[in-house]
Structure 1
Amino acid sequence: MFLIVGLGNPGAQYAKTRHNAGWFVIDELCRRHNIELAKKNADYKVGLGFVGEHKIALVKPQTFMNLSGRAVASLKHYHRVELEQILVVSDDLNLALGKLRLRAGGSDGGHNGLKSIAQMLGSKEYPRLRFGVGEPSREERVSSGTTGFVLRPFSADEWPLVEETTRRAADAIEWWLQNDLEGAMSRFNG
């Protein structure tokens, strides 16, 4: 069993925001593998299925970003998976729009969802896929800060690249599941 967790915020007002890039990837994997996120409790929605021979749980935490770790820790214990069997997809404003960065572990990079997960798991050493959402301009940082930037929807001009990046992120996850993390990193990082 592998847990694939896409980070995002619940609520229609956040549906197309940069902070919900992880949810875009979960939606793409659900579509590709005919998985429905049907099982829901207060902390998460989850759908079970397969990628090749690998059983997966696709997860969308339903808490706000800074509490995402509750869902991940709960599902890790319930399904008895190891840290290396968890992959978390998050937005990253330090990566240019359209870039992906797959890693075996590491810092939270200031991302509150990743910080919450590391706290709840007691480790930073779990795979993660960072989805580049672009960096706010100096003016945007001054006027609304990074929080305002990640909670703003992508523009119509950005959507084609967002959709392409979402597909490549799903491809990277499928590669990881059916091959290995290092190969996926070599193939999809950049």
Structure 2
Amino acid sequence: MKLILFNKPFDVMCQFSEHPSRATLADYIKIPKVYPAGRLDADSEGLILLTDDGKLQHKISHPDWKENKTYLVQVEGAVSSEQLEKLQAPLNLGDFITLPCKAFEITEPDWIWERHPPIRQRANIPTSWLCIILSEGKNRQVRRMTSAVGLPTLRLIRSGIGDYSLASHPILPGELIELKV
């Protein structure tokens, strides 16, 4: 059984099939018969787990197992305690209400790589970093949550899934490691 940790670069599609205008996992991963356990949108970076084992893939990606997913989020603006409280409580996003989560302000981790292209920044508006830990993972959920509390996401990095993290397995964007499980 194979378990691959891959650091998905910005603007890469989380699929192996060809895309008309963007790079895909196939451009980086040459290991046959492995499939992603979950997805990240093209605008997001960070940890993707891939495996050749269907049961493990299901356990990692299915909401019933509630594998925590940790995101480092650079947002536009200064973060208030009220915004953090709203992020942590169930938050109505219109089509669903989020489960409670952990959200706290952090300093930018020193192991984070530069993004290419760099994020857009406005000189007169500060940016802040958050750590958000979810037990669910709906489409564009973190971006929608930060926007709903008045903190637009500038950069989103998934740094951990369950027991696996980029902090403990430091790999740069486009790199992978294979673990024995």
TM-score (norm 2): 0.29
State the structure with bigger RCO (CA 8 A, min sep 6), 1 or 2: 2
The structure with the largest alpha-carbon Rg is: 2
Q: Could you say which structure has the higher strand fraction?
A: 2
- Higher helix proportion: 1
